[in-house]
Amino acid sequence: MDTSAPNGRLVSNILASIAEFEREIMLARQHEGIARAKSEGKYKGRAPTARAKSDEVLRLLEGGVRATDVAKQLGIGRRSGYRILDAAKA
């Protein structure tokens, strides 16, 4: 397909429009499905990981364990440990 010619640009634009249309339909169906699942109580979202371990994170950080080691030991992100520490200080 030669996009430097008018015919090629037309075909390219039509294909792009169809792809965009399909994407919007897919997203609309996805949102409808999520809304239905939420109304039925089946959609819970992602389970919290780091905040569920906040007591242990604080104990380790205040005990002098490095944030990197705490993250590796508990299976959370290093930044999550700092967030928990900042929330405890506030």
CATH number for 80: 1.10.10
Question: Is 2 in the same domain as 40?
Answer: yes
Please report the beta strands in the chain, taking only residues with DSSP state E, as ranges in sequence order: none
For residue 86, pLDDT over 80 is answered with: yes
Number of domains forming the structure of the chain: 2
Question: Is 41 in the same domain as 74?
Answer: no
Average confidence (pLDDT) over 74-88: 87
User: Using one digit for the tens of pLDDT, what is the confidence trace for 46-75?
Assistant: 777 788 888 898 898 888 888 889 889 888
User: Using one digit for the tens of pLDDT, what is the confidence trace for 7-54?
Assistant: 999 999 999 999 999 999 999 999 999 999 999 998 887 777 788 888
Question: Is 41 in the same domain as 8?
Answer: yes
Quick one: which of 39, 44, 54, 64 has its CA closest to 89? 54
CA distances from 67 to 12, 18, 55, 73, 77 (A): 52, 49, 14, 10, 9
pTM of the model: 0.50
Q: Give the separation between CA 25 and CA 31, rounded to whole angstroms.
A: 10
Q: Which domain holds residue 13?
A: 1-45
For position 50, what pLDDT does the model report?
82
Question: Is 32 in the same domain as 61?
Answer: no
